[in-house]
């Protein structure tokens, strides 16, 4: 519904925003995942990236999702290989390496 409103140029009401926030909070509670554990998980992922020679170059996002009665953690970690110039990285990407 919010998508249709945005297409039609209607502004999102503050009540809709509050409802979305409440829904997000309830989803986290329903999945029974502690926010502190998620932060620790993010920190450990960053450590692993650094250990394997990658620099984290952006915001790490870990989002729990409920899929087929299971909790799945979806992680988005923007990285760059340590020591690579942008040109070298572009050549490697073009070669499929």
**Residue 48: pLDDT band by 50, 70, 90 thresholds?**
very high
Whole-model pTM: value is 0.53
**Residue 40: pLDDT band by 50, 70, 90 thresholds?**
very high
pLDDT of residue 30: 57
Q: What is the mean pLDDT of residues 77-97?
A: 74
pLDDT of residue 31: 60
* Tokens describing residue 16: 């809709």
**41 to 2, 11, 38, 80: CA distances (angstroms):** 32, 36, 5, 20
Longest CA–CA separation in the chain, Å? 50
Strand partners, 71: 66
CA distance 8 to 13: 14
Q: Residues of the chain with pLDDT > 70: what percent? A: 58
Give φ, ψ of 44 to 5 degrees: -65, -35
Instruction: Please state the domain extents for the chain.
Output: 20-85
- Over residues 18-32, the pLDDT tens digits come to 666 666 655 555 566
């Amino acid at each position: 519904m919010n998508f249709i409103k945005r297409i039609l140029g209607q502004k999102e009401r503050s009540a809709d925003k509050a409802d979305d926030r409440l829904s997000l909070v309830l989803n986290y509670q329903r999945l029974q995942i502690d926010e502190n554990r998620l932060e620790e998980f993010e920190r450990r992922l960053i450590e692993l990236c650094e250990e394997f020679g990658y620099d984290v170059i952006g915001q790490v996002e870990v989002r729990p999702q409920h899929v087929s009665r299971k909790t799945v953690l979806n992680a988005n970690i923007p990285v760059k290989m340590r020591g690579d110039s942008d040109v070298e990285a572009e050549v490697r990407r073009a070669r499929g390496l």
